[in-house]
Amino acid sequence: MCGIVGAVAQRNVTPILVEGLRRLEYRGYDSAGVAVVDAGKKLHLTRAVGKVSQLAEALAAQPPQPGSGRIGIAHTRWATHGVPAERNSHPHVSRDVAVVHNGIIENHEELRAELTAAGFKFNSETDTEVAAHLIQHLIDQGQDLRTAVQNAIRRFHGAYALAVISATEPNHLLLARKGSPLCIGLGIGETFAASDATALLPVTNRFVYLDEGDLAEIRTDGYEIFDADGKTAQREVRISSQSADAADRGPYRHYMLKEIFEQPLALANTLEGRISEGHVLESFLGPKAGELLAKVERVQIAACGTSAHAGMVARYWIEEIARVPCAVDLASEFRYRDPVIEAGTLFITISQSGETADTLEALRHAKTKKIAASIVICNAPESSLVRESDIALMTHAGPERSVASTKAFTTQLMALALVTLLLARRRGLTAEKEKHYVKSLLSASAKVEQVLKQDDVLKKLAERLIHKQHALFLGRGTMFPVALEGALKLKEISYIHAEAYAAGELKHGPLALVDEHMPVIAVAPRDELLEKVKSNLQEVRARGGELIVFADQDAGFQNGPGVTVIGMPHADELIDPMIYTIPLQLLAYHVAVLKGTDVDQPRNLAKSVTVE
Ligand code: AGP
């Protein structure tokens, strides 16, 4: 949720920390802060409410003394305990010790009472401040920084990633991971740390990922890792293939728009190397894939938000095309409902970030049962879900910076279509049918390109929605999750209340909401449900609702009073969800721009949700 950056170097690390925070801003952004050790062995603390740019201004006004700042930690916060305010921003300081923290220390109240009794004064409402005071308390009792951190984390219940410095030991920075991601970046004569490797790409491409329960010490000349039992541990050094510039916005006004327009290329990238001569190659899932897939009797999908919508689309495909029973759960519900997970289950998680806490916990829970295999559909190669799944199917969408997920969704669909075809082949899908589906997947990029050309039409259409308070989205079959995704996009970036329903459900309740103030947006490709959708839409018109219909150009929908039809290219049913999502993304984007909201970083949200 929050973002952590740390560095130990022979130069002033403040600019590296601030740039790292900028790159992590997608994780949370209500306040930010930096602590470095200055030349007089004192902590130099700067914190600001708002975005990282506000912190940068505060630092420019009061920079650390020249020649100082060779060790430091920084944080961008997304409030969990305590309102967004400077006193609640990280780093939290207890005399010589500064701490940044991601996650939640669940027993913080008990520790707070204990430390208050020991004479420590609390200045914030956060759970993190107990970590700073407890570590200082243990140092006061004669422990060195590493021992104090080691003993402090033994007292914490909950999930955390911590980075700690002390002004009295300015040569090393301590890190601890339990439940929230943390990696070490290896430089030459300098070492870094961050919640996400993206933060450190300008300074290194060599990373070491901490495992659950690890404690690490980083210094200018290297690092040391200790496992949960305190024994020295070795973790693999990984070279990141991501480039520091891939995340730049280019000519686009917002990352979201850039990412929407990247979809034709991103979809092609998801397919690259995975199909050949009308055939899906199983080998791209790795050497164990054949053996693991052979055991699959059913599929269980778990994911959150947009990724869960991708899973809902996939359920239609997996049951209809592969004839394999498939269930989809919101990961946040799945992990708490004691689900029955039968032997032979292929457990699929879907996650752009690969770090969503609920999805990760759902996977960990499933792995305690006798599942056939776990697959993650993911866009972050070095993420926790990738490391903990049997098979990782990377979407290759490229970095997605906008909080509102766009290209991650359509590429997840593409990856799920590939998995569907692999499962279907094992259940007797004919080579001819497979060839037909592969051809349709290959045509998706061009069809999406065609829809993107309608950008101006959608911009105009957006003007009609900006004064609305509510909107309804309708779809049937695979278009129902597409409608859910359209509603999520509109609400998260434009703050217009939007709901989606399976069109057939309209008359079972939501129709009561329809009057001349309620825009109803329907996605209605020319599939076998078209006629049913048409009659649902009649029900809306009869109540004066304003209809916006995205329909196949040959579907026979006519513009008329209160009805606006946007013609969509004709495509195979399999790829319709990828195509019909595009205008809904563009519509939400333009409504948000016209309303003047913070499109890429909408209020109260974070790109990567690493807390429950
Ligand atoms: C949607 O636009 C959001 N970004 C959100 O719903 C997101 O899909 C969800 O938090 C899951 O994230 P993940 O794909 O990184 O696991």
Is 359 close to ligand 1, i.e. is its CB under 6 Å away? Answer: yes
**End-to-end CA, the chain:** 10
CA nearest ligand 1 atom 16, residue: 351
The Cα angle at residue 611 between residues 209 and 303, in degrees rounded to 5: 90
Question: What is residue 565's three-state secondary structure?
Answer: strand
Sequence-distant (≥ 6) Cβ neighbours of residue 528 within 8 angstroms? none
Average pLDDT of 452-461?
A: 96
Residue 409 CA, ligand 1 centroid: distance in Å? 9
Give the pLDDT confidence score for residue 314 in this predicted structure: 98
Number of neighbouring beta carbons within 10 Å of residue 207: 23
Q: How confident is the model at residue 285 (pLDDT cuts 50, 70, 90)?
A: confident
Distance CA 396, CA 375 (A): 16
Distance CA 434, CA 421 (A): 7
Average pLDDT of 329-339?
A: 91
DSSP annotation of 466: T
Distance CA 602, CA 201 (A): 25
Kindly report, residue by residue over 353-391, the tens digit of the pLDDT.
998 989 999 999 999 998 999 999 999 877 889 989 999
Query: Which residue from 524, 509, 595 is spatially nearest to 563, judged by alpha carbons?
Result: 524
Average pLDDT, the chain: 91
Q: Which regions of the chain carry the CATH code 3.60.20.10?
A: 3-239
Residue 528 CA, ligand 1 centroid: distance in Å? 31
Is 307 close to ligand 1, i.e. is its CB under 6 Å away? Answer: yes
Instruction: Return the bridge partners of 377, or none.
Output: 350, 393
Is 581 close to ligand 1, i.e. is its CB under 6 Å away? Answer: no
Distance CA 333, CA 207 (A): 33
Bridge-based pairing state of the strands 298-303 and 345-351: parallel
DSSP annotation of 253: S
Kindly report, residue by residue over 201-241, the tens digit of the pLDDT.
988 989 999 998 999 999 999 999 999 888 999 999 998 87
2 flagged as catalytic: yes
249 or 7, greater pLDDT: 7
Distance CA 29, CA 31 (A): 6
Contact 302, 296 (CB under 8 A): no
- The single residue listed with the structure tokens 């480039």 is 243
Sequence-distant (≥ 6) Cβ neighbours of residue 251 within 8 angstroms? none
Contact 572, 239 (CB under 8 A): no
Chain-centre distance for alpha carbon 417: 21
Average pLDDT of 296-324?
A: 97
Is 356 close to ligand 1, i.e. is its CB under 6 Å away? Answer: yes
Give the pLDDT confidence score for residue 508 in this predicted structure: 92
Q: Which regions of the chain carry the CATH code 3.40.50.10490?
A: 252-429, 448-600
Is the pLDDT at 247 greater than 60? The verdict is no
Distance CA 421, CA 574 (A): 11
Is the pLDDT at 448 greater than 80? The verdict is yes
- DSSP annotation string for 263-298: HHHHHHHHHTTTEETTEE-GGGG-TTHHHHHTT-SE
Is 379 close to ligand 1, i.e. is its CB under 6 Å away? Answer: no
Kindly report, residue by residue over 58-85, the tens digit of the pLDDT.
998 988 887 789 999 999 987 767 788 8
Residue 307 CA, ligand 1 centroid: distance in Å? 6
Q: How confident is the model at residue 499 (pLDDT cuts 50, 70, 90)?
A: very high
- For residue 489, which atom of ligand 1 is closest to its CA? 2
Is the pLDDT at 466 greater than 60? The verdict is yes
**Least confident piece of the model among 208-212, 282-286, 573-577:** 282-286
- Of the listed 2, 304, 326, 378, which one is catalytic? 2
Distance CA 215, CA 154 (A): 11
- DSSP annotation string for 19-30: HHHHHHGGG--S
Residue 119, burial from CB neighbour count under 10 angstroms (0-12, 13-18, 19+): exposed
Rounded-to-10 torsion of CA 269, 271, 274, 278 = -140
Residue of 353, 581, 598 best suited for mutating to test ligand 1, as the one with most atoms within 8 Å of CB: 353
Contact 471, 521 (CB under 8 A): yes
Is the pLDDT at 526 greater than 90? The verdict is no
Is 403 close to ligand 1, i.e. is its CB under 6 Å away? Answer: yes
Q: How confident is the model at residue 244 (pLDDT cuts 50, 70, 90)?
A: low
Residue 304 CA, ligand 1 centroid: distance in Å? 6
Is 181 close to ligand 1, i.e. is its CB under 6 Å away? Answer: no
Question: What is residue 596's three-state secondary structure?
Answer: coil
- DSSP annotation string for 349-409: EEESSS--HHHHHHHHHHHTS--SEEEEEES-TTSHHHHHSSEEEE-------SSS-SHHH
Kindly report, residue by residue over 159-199, the tens digit of the pLDDT.
789 999 999 999 999 999 987 789 999 988 899 999 988 89
- For residue 492, which atom of ligand 1 is closest to its CA? 2
Is the pLDDT at 243 greater than 80? The verdict is no
Give the pLDDT confidence score for residue 287 in this predicted structure: 81
Distance CA 362, CA 41 (A): 45
CATH code for the structural domain at 252-429? 3.40.50.10490
Average pLDDT of 95-122?
A: 93
- For residue 609, which atom of ligand 1 is closest to its CA? 10
Is 404 close to ligand 1, i.e. is its CB under 6 Å away? Answer: yes
Angle between helices 576-595 and 407-426 (to 10 degrees): 170
Residue of 306, 329, 597 best suited for mutating to test ligand 1, as the one with most atoms within 8 Å of CB: 306
Query: Which residue from 6, 23, 4, 16 is spatially nearest to 399, judged by alpha carbons?
Result: 23
Contact 349, 389 (CB under 8 A): yes
CATH code for the structural domain at 3-239? 3.60.20.10
Give the pLDDT confidence score for residue 245 in this predicted structure: 61
Residue 305 CA, ligand 1 centroid: distance in Å? 5
Distance CA 489, CA 32 (A): 27
- The single residue listed with the structure tokens 């997947």 is 441
Residue 59 CA, ligand 1 centroid: distance in Å? 32
Residue 478 CA, ligand 1 centroid: distance in Å? 19
Is 606 close to ligand 1, i.e. is its CB under 6 Å away? Answer: no
Distance CA 41, CA 2 (A): 27
Average pLDDT of 245-250?
A: 66
Distance CA 315, CA 272 (A): 24
CATH superfamily of 448-600: Glucose-6-phosphate isomerase like protein; domain 1 (3.40.50.10490)
Contact 524, 479 (CB under 8 A): yes
- DSSP annotation string for 35-98: EEE-TTS-EEEEEEES-HHHHHHHHHHSPPPTT--SEEEEEEE--SSS-SSGGGSSPEEETTEE
Residue 565 CA, ligand 1 centroid: distance in Å? 30
Residue of 27, 307, 361 best suited for mutating to test ligand 1, as the one with most atoms within 8 Å of CB: 307
Average pLDDT of 323-349?
A: 94
Distance CA 611, CA 138 (A): 28
pTM above 0.75, yes or no: no
- For residue 404, which atom of ligand 1 is closest to its CA? 2
Average pLDDT of 426-444?
A: 96
Is the pLDDT at 430 greater than 70? The verdict is yes
Distance CA 280, CA 193 (A): 39
- Of the listed 407, 447, 489, 607, which one is catalytic? 607
- For residue 359, which atom of ligand 1 is closest to its CA? 16
- The single residue listed with the structure tokens 């690969």 is 354
Residue 607 CA, ligand 1 centroid: distance in Å? 7
Give the pLDDT confidence score for residue 322 in this predicted structure: 96
Contact 33, 47 (CB under 8 A): yes
Distance CA 556, CA 91 (A): 61
Is 412 close to ligand 1, i.e. is its CB under 6 Å away? Answer: no
For the chain, the maximum distance between any two Cα atoms, rounded to a whole number of angstroms, is: 80
Is 304 close to ligand 1, i.e. is its CB under 6 Å away? Answer: yes
Distance CA 127, CA 108 (A): 5
CA nearest ligand 1 atom 8, residue: 306
